[in-house]
Structure 1
Amino acid sequence: MRRIIHNSTAIAACLSLLAPHLAMAQTHIPDDMSKKRSEFDVIAQADTEIELPIEEDAAGQTDTEAEASVEAETAEQTDAETEASVEAETAEQTDAETEAPVEAETAEQTDAETEAPVEAETAEQTDAETEAPVEAETTEQTDAEAEEPIAGEEAPAAKPAKAAEQAAEKDGGDVTQDDARPAPKGKQGQEKAEESQPNEEVTEQEEQAPAADAASAPESSETADEDALAKALAEQEETAEDAPEDASEPETETEADADAQSETEAEADVSGEVRLTDSEAAAKRSENMSGLSKVLQGEAEAGMSVDQLTCLSGAAYPCTDGGPVMTPRGVVLEAQEDGSFMLARARDQMYRVNKEGELVQRAAEEGGVETEAAKEAATATEAPTASALTAESGEGEVVEQEVTEENSRSSAEDFETNLRDALSADADQDSQEQTAGSDDDDNDLTKALLLGLGAVAVGSMLNNNREVALSSPDRVVVTRADGSQEVIKDEVALLRQPGSTVSTENFDDGSSRTVVTRSDGSKIVTIRDADLRVLRRTLVSVDGNSTQLIDDTTGVEPVNIAELPDPAAPVQTGDAPLDEEQLRAALQREANIDRRFTLGQIRNIPEVRALVAPVNIDAITFETGSAAIKSDQAKQLSMLGKVIQQSISENPREMFLIEGHTDTVGDAAMNLALSDRRAESVALALSEYFDVPPENLVVQGYGEQYLKIRAEGDIRSNRRASVRRITELLQTSE
């Protein structure tokens, strides 16, 4: 028995000496034998895992420990344990670390990266490893890989296999990371997806393959893995470029298609034929404007295209401001949402069809909104009353002033008060105290504009329910109950020229009588009511002869606008300005009417004023917010000044209305005051440079009320000054 034990001990010792060499000899096992052994080890390992934990799956280790416990109870037990330890380490190393030996941990990591696709660097690596068979990995490996990512890489977020499958079903079979590239689609994409998912059969063989192959050439293996990674990355990026940007969001693609289709339709509308809408509103407008509707239908039947349309501002269609457009013949249209068109409102039309069926340009005053001032002027029949008309000289309070270069204004000088400041409700405290203390509203304007006691406070109420919207020492703008606005000023300011003496007598009812005595002895007498409206203006020559220029003191007939003739056709200047004969003919054109009107009716009723055509003064341009005219521009008025001066010489009763207009940019009250200031500057320039008598001129600003081009915005043609001969319209007492 002792002999047997000694022999067994000797055999065990020999085996212990050979074990390391046998382990190293595995690197030389042929491939076919390695495959068979791998299959055998997988089966043995699976059987062991049924009853034992994974870390105790080495069958050789268990058998050796049992043998050692029976035979090694003597002093040789240490050798048996050594042999068991060697065999256990060998078996454990072979079964549990099949992918790489202990000496090649780096190579094992590289092999694991080779098995996984490029996506394994992020969350999909964990998904692929989770789906691998239980036989392919140990619990210790899974925990170690989850807790210890590769150095220099971000740890992938672990995701259960079931969650990965659900995500794959939701995304159409492509499991993507939060920041992953779009999943490749199509046949090529499917092949890439299959490459990105580990194959179970291949994985099992790779897990049982000798790890020493990797250990034998770790540098070449790492180089091959890097090349494979780079190639896979390049192939996936090429596939992603061919694929839609986000195939998982079909709604986005649908919206993109819709936008592209809308752009295509818009391009088609720009170059296609004009389509007219058949809506009820369009039919009603066509019925009300039958003449324009026929013109439009003729253009449409002739194949009018959208690219023939122009914006009212002069730009090509489509208009950036979305405003109305004009056909080649001048019919104004409104664009509809579906790309069709309909007639614009009547007040927006630039042309009309006259009784002869001709298309003629409309006057700027046509189609305007009737204001309270227009209604009052049209219905007034009684003659106005004012103390200044009947009182003897000396009954009122008299104020005299010598006019010099210092206290008079020339056309080249701007006004002292900025109109933006005049809009402020925080008027000068002293001025407010001077005007607010009076209960007599009729005297407020007289004190402010005639006596120079300061501006009327913005927001204060004047008679006839008028609220002050803008107040400056030379202009006051009031707002009526209907929202319309009026400008009030000192009508005698134009007559205050250096070398003259101005005597103003103010009466208790707010009316006033002003006498301007010139250096030659001639006089101009002006009577105004409490609102500073001119009631009468008389020129008294040196020899004492009187010429009545304005007389609104007699009763007049009411004005029925519907019975008035059509407005006079606008003066067509073309590309070149009018010459002297053309200008004279345009100004002398007689009105087609056999009755007369008061100055108030001409000023406030646009249909009456439009009975004579204005002539635009294109030679004058103003700086933004300014009313000053430079001397070189004033010289451009020479022809106009010559024609007007000659007309007055031939007929001292000739009267001309100088008008100012603006576009719609800016505050309406400020535009109104600015246009009135500019009209005054033009009148001053005509007097200063060309000796036009100022008493034969009336100035009036209309702001943005009567646009030449019926469109909102910054339009040069609407910023204009014009002159209109009103002699044939104005009534006189003689």
Structure 2
Amino acid sequence: DALAEQEAAEQADADALAEQEAAEQADADALAEQEAAEQAEADALAEQEAAEQADADALAEQEAAEQADADALAEQEATEQAEADALAEQEAAEQAEADALAEQEAAEQADADALAEQEAAEQADADALAEQEAAEQADADALAEQEATEQADADALAEQEAAEQADADALAEQQAVVRAEEEAALAEQEAIEQAEADALAEQEAAEQAEADALAEQEAAEQAEARSVAEQEAIEQAEADALAEQEASDKADAEALAEAEADALASAVALETQEASETSETVVTADTTRTSDEEAQATTASEADDDDNQIWKYLGAAAVGAVAGALIPQLGGRVVENQGDRMIVERDGELHVRKDENLLLRRPGVTETTESFTDGITRSTVTREDGSRIVTVRDSGGFVLKRTRYLPDDTAIVLIDETLKADSWVSSVDLEESLPPLRYDLPEERYVVDYRRADEDILREALLAPPVQEFDRAFTLRQVRENSRVRDMMPRIDLDVIQFATGSSAIQPSEAEALRLIGNTMADIIEQHPNEIFLVEGHTDAVGSDLMNLGLSDRRAEAVALALTEYFAIPPENLIVQGYGERYLKLDTQGPSQVNRRASVRRITPLIDAGLVSL
């Protein structure tokens, strides 16, 4: 039956396919009839146009004769008949389309009937399969019943054997109980005797533990007494060391203050003194550095060379300084001599010292140096145009006064520390005496990103007043060494300078990138010739603190040289100072291009005594 149903389903599919082909043929015939109708409509339209033309001809020939009118009427009637025929043909075409749609619906119904017959055939197959599975399940159930019967017989036999074993086990258990009772009585007697022995041992152990605890307590009390004594001794030693350090720091501060005061007093009285020694040097390209050259540190022995430019301007104590020695002229204790720079420590911070006249020594100038018995030096740098830069320095090389004399002897005072004899205090005391900063500028105008700044932003930052008022003028050393003082003035980060690791040289292409700030500074100095700008150098955290401090100062020097070489910034208006890795812009101990940078800020309002009331 299933095979017959399958064959019937296949026959139905074939009939459905034949019906579908017949429907498609009917659709094609209908399409042909529709095209014929459309052609007839086109013919009718042509005939209508001909009739309209005939009407026009009839109108033109109206004067010919009535026969023409009759002909025209006959033609009109023929045209109307043609239109009626065309309408009939169109209705016939629409009827053909309706018939084709009906045939298509009939074909779809035949497809549906064929699908239903196929589903019925599949259901019959499924029923046959279910009957076969039911028969197999019945066979399986009969087999299971037979196995269950056999298992029941086996279980009955096992129960009989288990009962016999239980009887045997009960007899054995009864015998074991008798033996256990006898053994328990014997063990109980032994346990009583052992408990008595254990109690005696515990009593003896407790007495020993009490004795041990008493000995330990006495030892702990003795150790605590020794610890208290040791702690008191340590605290006393720390107090003594702190007192010694405070006394040493106080002595250092007093020595530094005394040296500062003596230097200022000597500078004030300089005009009445005669130089003990005078030397003159013509500066050439071989004896000065350019911005694209590396400035390398040297050893201490190399620093003693007669050709070394920096130390010959310092007093004998500075030249012979050894590590750890307090040299008031240098402003602290000597930590390291790097040849072109010296690292000193004061108030727990490291500072770098160098020749303050290096920027002024440009090829072609003549430098005359006068040395005085108290260690003061006065150098005069004479340029080819006749202008002169006169710098007075103390025995440690610190600038006390710097004046620019124009060719007509007009004097422009750039730096004058002689008016600040009462201004010098230690960095710690200065930090504690200053109030918290108040920022009125937006942050992006206080710390300016040079890459994103235009001339107006740079000019605003370079000419902005301090962020808060103060009633004193700071010394140049205080500005250099105290970040709290420097932060009163906005700064510009020159992030276009990409220093290589360990390098202090600037490539010409990078120097050219400083054009905007160079031209802005030059314009400001032209309008205000006494403006002073601080160029700050920084490093990343790779390398030692001492090496980085010297390297950062050389980087600041390179930026100042580039501003002078490329944009004619007067070098006497620039102060350079390196800060090593102390002020990281990106907090990382690894290599960082962001941290290898330089900055510029105007510091004239901080050091110019004429701008504040002392």
TM-score by length of 2: 0.51
Q: Does 1:533 align with 2:406?
A: no
After superposition, the C-alpha distances for 1:211-248 in whole angstroms (9 at most, x for unaligned) are xxxxxxxxxxxxxxxxxxxxxxxxxxxxxxxxxxxxxx
- Counterpart of 1:666, as a letter, is G
Q: Does 1:402 align with 2:282?
A: yes
- With over 3 angstroms needed to count, the CA separation of the structure-2 counterparts of 1:636 and 1:575, relative to structure 1, is closer
Q: Which residue of 2 aligns with 1:523?
A: 388
Q: Does 1:720 align with 2:597?
A: yes
Which 5+ residue runs of structure 1 have no aligned equivalent? 1-370, 436-443
Q: What CA distance in whole angstroms lies between the structure 1 residues aligned with 2:500 and 2:484?
A: 31
Q: Which residue of 2 aligns with 1:390?
A: 269
Q: What CA distance in whole angstroms lies between the structure 1 residues aligned with 2:550 and 2:457?
A: 32
Q: What CA distance in whole angstroms lies between the structure 2 residues aligned with 1:451 and 1:469?
A: 18
Q: What CA distance in whole angstroms lies between the structure 2 residues aligned with 1:475 and 1:702?
A: 13
After superposing the two structures, state which structure 1 stretch, 405-414 or 466-475, moved more: 466-475
Do the aligned partners of 1:521 and 1:542 also contact (CA within 8 Å) in 2? yes
Q: How does 1:210-225 map to 2 (within 5 A)?
A: none
Q: CA shift at 1:530, angstroms? A: 1.3
Q: Does 1:661 align with 2:535?
A: no
Q: What CA distance in whole angstroms lies between the structure 2 residues aligned with 1:451 and 1:503?
A: 17
Q: Which residue of 1 aligns with 2:556?
A: 679
Q: CA shift at 1:588, angstroms? A: 1.7
Do the aligned partners of 2:538 and 2:595 also contact (CA within 8 Å) in 1? yes
Q: What CA distance in whole angstroms lies between the structure 2 residues aligned with 1:603 and 1:414?
A: 24
Q: How does 1:226-375 map to 2 (within 5 A)?
A: none
- With over 3 angstroms needed to count, the CA separation of the structure-2 counterparts of 1:560 and 1:652, relative to structure 1, is same
Q: CA shift at 1:547, angstroms? A: 1.2
- With over 3 angstroms needed to count, the CA separation of the structure-2 counterparts of 1:613 and 1:575, relative to structure 1, is closer
Q: Does 1:473 align with 2:342?
A: no
Q: What CA distance in whole angstroms lies between the structure 2 residues aligned with 1:382 and 1:509?
A: 13
- With over 3 angstroms needed to count, the CA separation of the structure-2 counterparts of 1:533 and 1:660, relative to structure 1, is same
Q: What CA distance in whole angstroms lies between the structure 1 residues aligned with 2:562 and 2:317?
A: 28
- With over 3 angstroms needed to count, the CA separation of the structure-2 counterparts of 1:567 and 1:680, relative to structure 1, is farther
After superposition, the C-alpha distances for 1:308-348 in whole angstroms (9 at most, x for unaligned) are xxxxxxxxxxxxxxxxxxxxxxxxxxxxxxxxxxxxxxxxx
Q: CA shift at 1:533, angstroms? A: 0.7
Q: CA shift at 1:469, angstroms? A: 3.1
Q: CA shift at 1:429, angstroms? A: 7.8
Q: Which residue of 2 aligns with 1:593?
A: 469
Q: Which residue of 1 aligns with 2:350?
A: 485
- With over 3 angstroms needed to count, the CA separation of the structure-2 counterparts of 1:698 and 1:485, relative to structure 1, is same
- With over 3 angstroms needed to count, the CA separation of the structure-2 counterparts of 1:505 and 1:625, relative to structure 1, is same
- With over 3 angstroms needed to count, the CA separation of the structure-2 counterparts of 1:583 and 1:556, relative to structure 1, is same
Q: Does 1:616 align with 2:493?
A: yes
Q: Does 1:640 align with 2:517?
A: yes
Which 5+ residue runs of structure 2 have no aligned equivalent? 1-248
Q: CA shift at 1:468, angstroms? A: 3.4
- With over 3 angstroms needed to count, the CA separation of the structure-2 counterparts of 1:490 and 1:723, relative to structure 1, is same
Q: Secondary structure at the match of 1:587?
A: helix
Q: What CA distance in whole angstroms lies between the structure 1 residues aligned with 2:507 and 2:252?
A: 35
- With over 3 angstroms needed to count, the CA separation of the structure-2 counterparts of 1:636 and 1:377, relative to structure 1, is farther
Q: What CA distance in whole angstroms lies between the structure 2 residues aligned with 1:589 and 1:430?
A: 41
Q: Secondary structure at the match of 2:280?
A: strand
Q: CA shift at 1:539, angstroms? A: 1.0
Q: Which residue of 1 aligns with 2:301?
A: 428
Alignment size in residue pairs: 347
- With over 3 angstroms needed to count, the CA separation of the structure-2 counterparts of 1:509 and 1:533, relative to structure 1, is same
Q: Secondary structure at the match of 2:323?
A: coil
Q: What CA distance in whole angstroms lies between the structure 2 residues aligned with 1:373 and 1:500?
A: 42
Do the aligned partners of 2:317 and 2:327 also contact (CA within 8 Å) in 1? no
Q: What CA distance in whole angstroms lies between the structure 2 residues aligned with 1:679 and 1:470?
A: 20
Q: CA shift at 1:545, angstroms? A: 1.4
The share of aligned pairs that are identical, in percent, is: 41
Q: CA shift at 1:537, angstroms? A: 0.7
Max Rg structure: 2
Q: CA shift at 1:703, angstroms? A: 0.9
Q: CA shift at 1:587, angstroms? A: 1.6
- With over 3 angstroms needed to count, the CA separation of the structure-2 counterparts of 1:643 and 1:511, relative to structure 1, is same
Q: CA shift at 1:509, angstroms? A: 2.3
Q: Secondary structure at the match of 1:521?
A: coil
- With over 3 angstroms needed to count, the CA separation of the structure-2 counterparts of 1:517 and 1:671, relative to structure 1, is same
- With over 3 angstroms needed to count, the CA separation of the structure-2 counterparts of 1:573 and 1:479, relative to structure 1, is closer
TM-score by length of 1: 0.43
- Counterpart of 2:334, as a letter, is V
- With over 3 angstroms needed to count, the CA separation of the structure-2 counterparts of 1:397 and 1:718, relative to structure 1, is same
**Corresponding residue to 1:494 among 359, 362, 366:** 359
Do the aligned partners of 2:267 and 2:400 also contact (CA within 8 Å) in 1? no
How large is the RMSD of aligned CA atoms in angstroms? 3.7
Q: What CA distance in whole angstroms lies between the structure 2 residues aligned with 1:664 and 1:502?
A: 38
**Corresponding residue to 1:584 among 442, 455, 459:** 459
- With over 3 angstroms needed to count, the CA separation of the structure-2 counterparts of 1:689 and 1:604, relative to structure 1, is same
Between Structure 1 and Structure 2, which shows a larger proportion of helix residues? 2
Q: CA shift at 1:618, angstroms? A: 0.8
Q: What CA distance in whole angstroms lies between the structure 1 residues aligned with 2:385 and 2:274?
A: 24
After superposition, the C-alpha distances for 1:250-284 in whole angstroms (9 at most, x for unaligned) are xxxxxxxxxxxxxxxxxxxxxxxxxxxxxxxxxxx
Do the aligned partners of 2:532 and 2:603 also contact (CA within 8 Å) in 1? yes
- Counterpart of 1:517, as a letter, is T
Q: CA shift at 1:577, angstroms? A: 2.0
Q: What CA distance in whole angstroms lies between the structure 2 residues aligned with 1:410 and 1:573?
A: 27
Do the aligned partners of 2:391 and 2:401 also contact (CA within 8 Å) in 1? yes
- Counterpart of 1:658, as a letter, is V
After superposition, the C-alpha distances for 1:120-150 in whole angstroms (9 at most, x for unaligned) are xxxxxxxxxxxxxxxxxxxxxxxxxxxxxxx
Q: CA shift at 1:613, angstroms? A: 1.8
Q: CA shift at 1:512, angstroms? A: 0.9
